[in-house]
Every structure is written in structure tokens, then in C-alpha cells.
Amino acid sequence: MKMVLIGHRGTGKSHLLERLKVYFHDKSNLKFFDLDREIEFREGKTINQIFNEVGEETFRSLETKVFHQLIQQHSEFVISLGAGFSLQEIP
């Protein structure tokens, strides 16, 4: 399964991701990622800090890079995207 959750800010994408983790708990190969949380983990900073330090264009490049790394590294996944993610980046 390959699933990407998209939607406007505040619509519950991250909450749905958590519910899907419970629902698919027995599917061992399925990985779950909140793209914003993954970026924060990798960078050691909040999304707001990153965005304010480097600007939108550089942040969007980082966001795209992390997204593509995740989908290349995992054969089965559910990824919750940030509201500003470019849908053209989804293969």
C-alpha cells in the first residue's frame, strides 16, 4: 500500500495518520510518516524555525527532498503531507 494524505491546514491529516497506524497495526511492512515531523526530526528544528531561517523556497526544496527519500526507501507507506506541499511532486 502506498498512501499520501493531502488536505488544507487543520483538517486532521495528522490525526487520521495516527488512526491508520492503529487500524493497520498488523501490517508489518507499512511505515507511517508525518512529513513535517520527519523534517523536524532530521533538522533538529521546528518547521517554523526552518521556514523563518531559510525562507519558503528553500524549505519547499527540503520538503520535496525528504518526501522523495521516504518514498524511495520504503515500499509500503502512509505519508501525511504539509498543507503547502506541491501536488506535482507526487509520482
pLDDT in tens, 70-86: 999 999 999 999 888 99
27 pLDDT more than 80: no
d(CA 42, CA 39): 5
| Helix 47-73 with 35-43: angle, nearest 10 deg | 110
- The per-residue pLDDT for range 29-69, each reduced to its tens digit, is 899 999 999 999 999 999 999 999 999 999 999 999 999 99
Whether pTM exceeds 0.75: yes
Q: How many Å from the N-terminal Cα to the C-terminal Cα in the chain?
A: 14
- Residue 35 three-state SS: helix
pLDDT value of residue 19: 95
DSSP percent split of the chain into helix, strand, coil, nearest 5:
55, 15, 30
pLDDT value of residue 70: 97
